[in-house]
Amino acid sequence: MRKKCYYAHCIGIYNTPQEKRDIETLTGLGFEVVNPNSKECSEGYKLEGMKYFERFPKECDLVAFRSLPDGRIPAGVGKEIRGFQNENKSVIELPSCLVKRIISVEETREYLCEIGKR
C-alpha cells in the first residue's frame, strides 16, 4: 500500500508547470499524492471552507511542501505543516532554488571552520 502524501503549496502555484513537476516527483517516489488543487478538494472547500483541509494530517502519512522562491512559507501552507507536526507526521520540503543555495568548496570550508569541525 502506497503512502499518502499531502502536497502543501501556495495557490499561486496551482495549475503551473511547477505543480505538475512536484506531483510527478512525489508520484515517482512512490507516494499517492493528495493535491488541494484537485476537484474533490475544491468541492470540499466550497462546503466547509478551510476546515475541510484539517482532515488531511489524520488521513495522510506525511506532508510535502513547497516554499516561496525566497524561502518563506505562506500562512496557509504553514498551517498545514503545523497540522502534520501536531500529529507527529513527517514533513518534507521540496527543493527550491538549489543553484542559489549550493555553496562553493571555499564557503563550505569556511563554514566548517566556524563551527569547529576543521
Which amino acid is residue 35, in one-letter code? N
Mean pLDDT, the chain, rounded, equals 93
Residue 118 has pLDDT above 80, yes or no: no
User: What is the value of pTM for the model shown?
Assistant: 0.83
Q: Give the angle 52-53-54 at the CA atoms, nearest 5°.
A: 95
Strand order in the sheet with 4-8: 32-34, 4-8, 62-65, 90-93
Q: What is the CATH number of the domain that holds 110?
A: 3.40.50
pLDDT digits (tens, 9 = 90+) for 38-55: 999 999 999 999 899 999
43 with 70: CB under 8 angstroms?
Answer: no
pLDDT digits (tens, 9 = 90+) for 82-112: 999 999 999 999 987 667 778 889 999 999 9
Percent of the chain clearing pLDDT 70 (strictly above): 97
The mean per-residue pLDDT over the stretch 67-94 comes to: 94
Give the total number of structural domains in the chain.
1
pLDDT grade for 33, boundaries at 50, 70 and 90: very high
Q: Give the angle 91-92-94 at the CA atoms, nearest 5°.
A: 145
Grid coordinates belonging to 68: 516561496
What is the span of the domain harbouring residue 33? Answer: 4-114
The CA-to-CA distance between both ends of the chain, in Å, stands at: 45
